[in-house]
Structure 1
């Protein structure tokens, strides 16, 4: 009877220890086609929406390295990743405009002193027009 109890306890302990054992990572050296590499967000650069699409507040409109496309109306620049982000809901538009830099910008002397015209792409979010609500004084 004691031997049966010891055997049962040993089997229970073995299964208990096996369930909490550390699992080894699989070796994919034999099967490289089964590896699913994650898609890097850094490779998905460029426009995320087409011209005229409806975008929502907080949508990333353009992913870029450096300042190739400039933020326009209702668009802000994330200085860490250079992404352009929508500040309001509205229609996404792309335009080409003449650049007029601030006096502390490194492009200021190029534009003002040399007289060069710099045309750059801008991204805008055009908000839908707000409907005015009027109330007459006599109804207040």
Structure 2
């Protein structure tokens, strides 16, 4: 047992602490998943504005303008109403709707879940008994 649990002196509190300590990895994973959702919902409009989908329209010379040009050429000269560029420009102009926030948040939560493997990686493993380190005839301290 490591951390603050070592410093508790009453057995009841130590038992409670052990119970909390056992669920730490689960709490960590939930926090990473939740953070993934919150971060994607928060930063999606910021990212879209940074690549050129602004409230004033698509910024000339931006990545958004290049994407619009590529999709227009591949579509025969026009951008499809309700297509990818229109959808991203809508978010860039007005922000995320509740439904879009749910979709983006779910995607962020999935990414958070995939990254949640970081939880519990720095757990200390108990060392084997000191005899196993010693070869016959070697003094181990």
* Alignment TM-score > 0.5, same fold: no
| Higher helix content, 1 or 2 | 2
**Superposition TM-score tier, normalisation by shorter sequence:** under 0.3
